[in-house]
A and B are shown apart, each in its own frame.
Chain A
Amino acid sequence: MKFNKYLLFMIIATFAVVLAACGKDGDPGESDKNKASAQGAELEGSVAIDGSGTVYPLMARLAEEYMVNEQENVSVEVSRAGTSAGFKKFLVENGTDFNNASRQIKDEEAAEADKLGIEVKELKVALDGLTFVINKENDWATEMTPEQLVSIFLADSPVEKWSDINPDWPDEKINAMGPNENHGTYEFFYESILDKQDMDSSVNLQQEYSTLVNLVSKDKNGIAFFGYGYYVNNQDKMNAVAVDFGNGPVEPALDTIAEDGAYADFTRPVFTYLNVNQAKENPQVKDFAMYVMNNINKFAGETGFAPIPESEVKENVSFLDGL
């Protein structure tokens, strides 16, 4: 009969293709990592990176340049679940090779790494300025002091409306927003800016930076905080608050957020954490780490970060050399 031959043929053919594909590669998870040949030569295999959405544009750019110009047979995969979510994927057996972080590793995360026998190396990659953004129509709150900004986000503060900060400002409710607890940016803000005091529960915390950009660009009373890079790329939609640290208002910019710049009080280093065990076993992981350190300052500015001092780059390069 015509029909059942057709059906059988289809089922058999598709199964054959699937089985052939299975057989060819054998054990998947490990094989492509171990294919890597000696260092310096053509490398193969994969490098898995997850973590901070703030650091993502920088690392993704580096990953692409690496694959296009250096090692075209190495597959560098970059994701962006957020710093804390990324550490959960980093601190497991056969986890990711790098975790990008917009804050330093926490004690409990370091303890978890010890427990699993994972040696972790912190690599500082760039400097980022925590930027407070407001709607284009907001023509009053363009300059603020750190204390005023903090009072907007604190649970323990009477500030609800703009007029609570300055009587000349509108008698309207402030809509404060920021990234949620998955993000290192949130934790940096909570620990270093709010000094671990409770954040107001009315602050609208979001998973995606694009949502924050959207909300602030549409809300006259909105104010949000995130990394400088997300502001630079959306200057047409929002303004940054110039912060007065005591010597007059300073706008976040590549030169002010740099080491010892005028915006330095709101500047934080961003990192990528390397699984040293993986770097020792897999030449492509080490090679990519080297590439990142040697080229990081070339791509920092382009993606909205300030460069790190050359001395720190050298220190990390010599550490990687010793592996």
Chain B
Amino acid sequence: MNQLSEKQHMRRTKRRLFLSRFSKSIFMLSAFFGLFFLAVLLVKVVTEGIGSVNFDFLTGKLSTQPERAGIMGAILGTFWLMLVVAPVTMFVGVGTAIYLEMYAKKGRLVSFIQTNISNLAGVPSIVYGILGLTVFVRVLDLGNIVLAGGLTMSLLILPIVIVASQEAIRSIPFFLSEAAYGLGATKWQTIQRIILPAALPGILTGAILSLSRAIGETAPLVVIGIPALLIPFPGSIMDRFTVLPMQIYYWTLDASLVAEYANLAAATIIVLLVALFILNSTAIIIRNKFQRVF
């Protein structure tokens, strides 16, 4: 057997140590890559926009004069939109998940539905916009109101809610439902009293995260046709509306006419980020508070 000389040994060790350090720094760089651009975004948005965020801006009506323009209409529009999206996706999404996990017999049909749901999750959001325009705005003749926009958004995030709810239901240990059946509970009793309570943290986390996606979406609403200037506040889900990301879009374009609009767009981004931050924190709190380990 050849013994390594002292010199060779040293060289190999050095090489191995270098590779080890090198890989560490590569992975660290990739971790900081996203963080860096997030920081750039935040710094740019906050420096441009924070000066415009004040009480008048938050509670005021839209205007063609930047110094008078406010964002309350878009905040209310976002609120009403969520009031449609949340119940529709929760009911249909959780319902689908329960059917697929608890009732449907594993077979061709279920795997067909399953494949389609996974495919739907990958469809670009603008395609949902075209679907919404055709079905809700034109065929059902709803017009470009909150209900039409909300149903379109629901379709967009449904696949995510379904998959998240399925995962949550699937992660509940088998012995829990077996025990319920053993005590004479019916299937619905088992779902209602055992499965759903145990799966709720997972379901809610998925639902809230997908709601925050719906809050930030613009493309489907561009297709549905949200007016660039809509001054009255929406008062119900049957009113025409605008939302925060649409206002960011229009004001960014308007910045070519009047430069101050860039600041309003940045201010609106801050408002939207705060809303998303609150929603996502809620999701984390729910998960941590209610999660149970079996």
Cα A209 to Cα B257 with chains together (Å): 9
Contact A28 B83 (CB under 8 A): no
Contact of B238 among A22, A67, A209 (CB under 8 A): A22
Binary contact readout A205-216 vs B (1 if CB under 8 angstroms, 0 otherwise): 000111001100
Binary contact readout B237-274 vs A (1 if CB under 8 angstroms, 0 otherwise): 11110000000000011111110000000000000000
A sample of 8 more A-B contacts (CB under 8 A), given A11-B87, A28-B238, is A2-B197, A3-B196, A4-B196, A21-B236, A25-B236, A94-B141, A229-B257, A230-B256
Contact of B197 among A1, A89, A209 (CB under 8 A): A1
Cα A234 to Cα B239 with chains together (Å): 36
Query: Is A63 engaged at the interface, CB distance under 8 Å to the other chain?
Result: yes
Contact B64 A29 (CB under 8 A): no
Nearest A-chain residue to B199, judged by Cβ: A3
A30 to chain B, nearest CB (A): 9
- Known A-B contacts A28-B238, A75-B231; the reply to A208 vs B253 at CB < 8 A is yes
Contact A18 B87 (CB under 8 A): yes
Contact of A210 among B84, B143, B198, B256 (CB under 8 A): B256
With an 8 Å Cβ cutoff, the count of chain A residues facing the other chain is 45
Nearest B-chain residue to A29, judged by Cβ: B143
Contact of A15 among B87, B227, B238, B253 (CB under 8 A): B87
Query: Is A192 engaged at the interface, CB distance under 8 Å to the other chain?
Result: no
Query: Is B142 engaged at the interface, CB distance under 8 Å to the other chain?
Result: yes
Q: Which residues of chain A come closer than 8 Å to B63, judged between CB atoms?
A: 64
Query: Is B278 engaged at the interface, CB distance under 8 Å to the other chain?
Result: no
Contact A77 B227 (CB under 8 A): yes
- Known A-B contacts A46-B240, A77-B227; the reply to A28 vs B143 at CB < 8 A is yes
Contact A21 B237 (CB under 8 A): yes
Contact of A233 among B87, B91, B238, B257 (CB under 8 A): B257
Q: Which residues of chain A come closer than 8 Å to B227, judged between CB atoms?
A: 48, 77-79
Contact of A11 among B90, B198, B252, B257 (CB under 8 A): B90
Q: Which residues of chain B come closer than 8 Å to A60, judged between CB atoms?
A: 64, 228-229
Binary contact readout B215-246 vs A (1 if CB under 8 angstroms, 0 otherwise): 00000000001111111100011111000000
* B81-100 interface with A by 8 A CB criterion: 83-84, 86-87, 90-91
Cα A93 to Cα B229 with chains together (Å): 23
A31 to chain B, nearest CB (A): 8
Q: Which residues of chain B come closer than 8 Å to A81, judged between CB atoms?
A: 225
Query: Is A24 engaged at the interface, CB distance under 8 Å to the other chain?
Result: yes
Nearest B-chain residue to A81, judged by Cβ: B225
Query: Is A56 engaged at the interface, CB distance under 8 Å to the other chain?
Result: yes
Contact of B232 among A4, A28, A75 (CB under 8 A): A75
Query: Is A17 engaged at the interface, CB distance under 8 Å to the other chain?
Result: yes
Which of B141, B143, B196, B231 has the most A CB atoms < 10 Å from its CB?
B231
Q: Which residues of chain B come closer than 8 Å to A17, judged between CB atoms?
A: 83
Query: Is B145 engaged at the interface, CB distance under 8 Å to the other chain?
Result: yes
Query: Is A7 engaged at the interface, CB distance under 8 Å to the other chain?
Result: yes
Contact A21 B238 (CB under 8 A): yes
Query: Is A82 engaged at the interface, CB distance under 8 Å to the other chain?
Result: no
Query: Is B47 engaged at the interface, CB distance under 8 Å to the other chain?
Result: no
Nearest A-chain residue to B197, judged by Cβ: A3
Cα A194 to Cα B192 with chains together (Å): 72
Contact A28 B193 (CB under 8 A): no
B107 to chain A, nearest CB (A): 29
* A15-52 interface with B by 8 A CB criterion: 15, 17-18, 21-22, 24-25, 28-29, 46, 48
Closest 5 CB pairs of A and B: A3-B197, A210-B256, A77-B227, A14-B87, A28-B238
Query: Is A61 engaged at the interface, CB distance under 8 Å to the other chain?
Result: yes
Binary contact readout A52-86 vs B (1 if CB under 8 angstroms, 0 otherwise): 00001100110110010000000111111100000
B231 to chain A, nearest CB (A): 5
Q: Which residues of chain A come closer than 8 Å to B239, judged between CB atoms?
A: 25, 28
- Known A-B contacts A57-B64, A210-B256, A233-B257; the reply to A64 vs B87 at CB < 8 A is no
- The 8 sampled A-B contact pairs (Cβ below 8 Å) are A4-B192, A18-B237, A21-B238, A28-B143, A56-B228, A79-B228, A79-B229, A210-B257
Contact B230 A75 (CB under 8 A): yes
Cα A29 to Cα B145 with chains together (Å): 9
* B132-152 interface with A by 8 A CB criterion: 141-143, 145, 147
Contact A214 B228 (CB under 8 A): no
Q: Which residues of chain A come closer than 8 Å to B232, judged between CB atoms?
A: 67, 75
Contact A4 B142 (CB under 8 A): no
A183 to chain B, nearest CB (A): 14
Cα A48 to Cα B83 with chains together (Å): 25
A60 to chain B, nearest CB (A): 5
